[in-house]
Amino acid sequence: MDKAFYGWAWVEADREFKRALELKPSSADAHHWYSHFFQALGETDRALAEVKRALELDPLTPHLHNDVGRYIYFNRLYDQAIEQFQKTIEVNPGYYHLYWDLGNAYAQKGMFEDAVEAYEKAQELSKGSIFITGTIAYGYAVWGKKEKARQLLAELEEISKRNYVLPLEMAVTYAALHEDERAFDLLEKACEERSYRLTVAIKLDPRYDPIRSDPRFPKLLGRMRLPQ
């Protein structure tokens, strides 16, 4: 896993995943992480196939059901993604990642009030995660409530002077506010940190769409050795 998500040695990592599955084809974990490998490369169909295989082997694990919804979301089939997240929430109502992903799907559908409500539920279940605060700021930004978004960003910027704050949720919020310089500053920081969350999302997450046409974006992908 390290070679893929932190080393960006994609060919070597692919070889190691294949070898792991040859040795233990019944490993749900191996199929799960291989799905994230394909997610990072932008191959959603192969990612979905691997996570579905993981689910066949381990049908009770909530994050696998969540990943199915996430890959559907990455394919921009938002209604289907929402349905998948809601079905999984019925069975696992305390798993905060589901509400985070549900909020992202709502946001892309233009259901901004529902998105913020889902994000706030995620923050409640995560016991006040600073990461989710950044996502709530994103929800307000795309909703057009820019002052509220900037207020939350200012709080996070202040917190970041004393404690670590994951840059990505702030980056997509600044991108939504068309403050591209700060967005790229934060993405560069995440790249320098070899952020796992950046690696597995940057190719596919529609929240990066406002800055994909910027010439700095393909350069960032190039540094991560990801296909353009």
Query: For the ranges 2-6, 79-83, 207-211, which has the lowest average pLDDT?
Result: 2-6
Assigned superfamily of 1-59: Tetratricopeptide repeat domain (1.25.40.10)
Instruction: Enter the pTM of the model.
Output: 0.95
In this prediction, residue 47 carries a pLDDT of 96
Average pLDDT score over residue span 158-176: 95
Q: Between the CA atoms of 193, 197, 201 and 202, what dihedral angle is there, to the nearest 10 degrees?
A: -20
Q: Where are the domains of the chain?
A: 1-59, 68-125, 129-228
Tens digits of residue pLDDT in 112-141: 999 999 999 999 999 999 999 999 999 999
In this prediction, residue 114 carries a pLDDT of 98
In this prediction, residue 169 carries a pLDDT of 95
Q: Which residue has the tokens 């996430």?
A: 70
Tens digits of residue pLDDT in 91-114: 999 999 999 999 999 999 999 999
Helix (H/G/I), strand (E/B), else coil: 40: helix
Has residue 155 got a pLDDT over 90? yes
In this prediction, residue 1 carries a pLDDT of 79
Query: Do 1-59 and 68-125 have matching folds?
Result: yes
CA distance 74 to 80: 11
Has residue 173 got a pLDDT over 90? yes
Give Cα 221 to chain centroid, integer Å.
16
Has residue 2 got a pLDDT over 90? no
CA atoms within 13 A on the CB side of 208: 22
Assigned superfamily of 68-125: Tetratricopeptide repeat domain (1.25.40.10)
